[in-house]
């Protein structure tokens, strides 16, 4: 991923809204991590995206996945 692509993804994540969220909060299934998982499906250009984020605390969140919606992860 180049710098331009990375910046676009950051901008998409920063622009997520409550309406983009279709699942969560749910506990992280990985016992090595604490936090809550949220799943989003915003539109970018003509493509619906799938974004999975773990919120660990008020200061730390981790983007776990970004790709075309329905392509790799289960969506429910």
pTM of the model: 0.83
- Residue 9 DSSP code: H
For residue 2, pLDDT over 80 is answered with no
Minimal CA–CA distance to 44: which of 6, 73, 3, 15? Answer: 15
CA distance 40 to 20: 5
pLDDT tens string 12-57? 999 999 999 999 999 988 889 989 999 999 999 999 999 999 999 8
Alpha-carbon separation of residue 24 from 5, 48, 55 (angstroms) = 26, 18, 11
Give the DSSP H or E segment for 62: strand 60-68
Residue 19 dihedral angles phi and psi, to the nearest 5°: -65, -25
pLDDT of residue 70: 78
């Amino acid at each position: 991923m180049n710098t331009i692509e990375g910046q676009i993804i950051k901008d998409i994540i920063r622009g997520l809204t409550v309406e983009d969220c279709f699942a969560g909060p749910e506990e992280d299934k990985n016992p090595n991590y604490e936090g809550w998982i949220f799943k989003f499906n915003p539109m970018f250009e003509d493509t619906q995206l799938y974004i999975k984020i773990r919120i660990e605390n008020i200061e730390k969140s981790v983007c776990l996945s970004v790709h075309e919606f329905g392509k790799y992860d289960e969506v429910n």
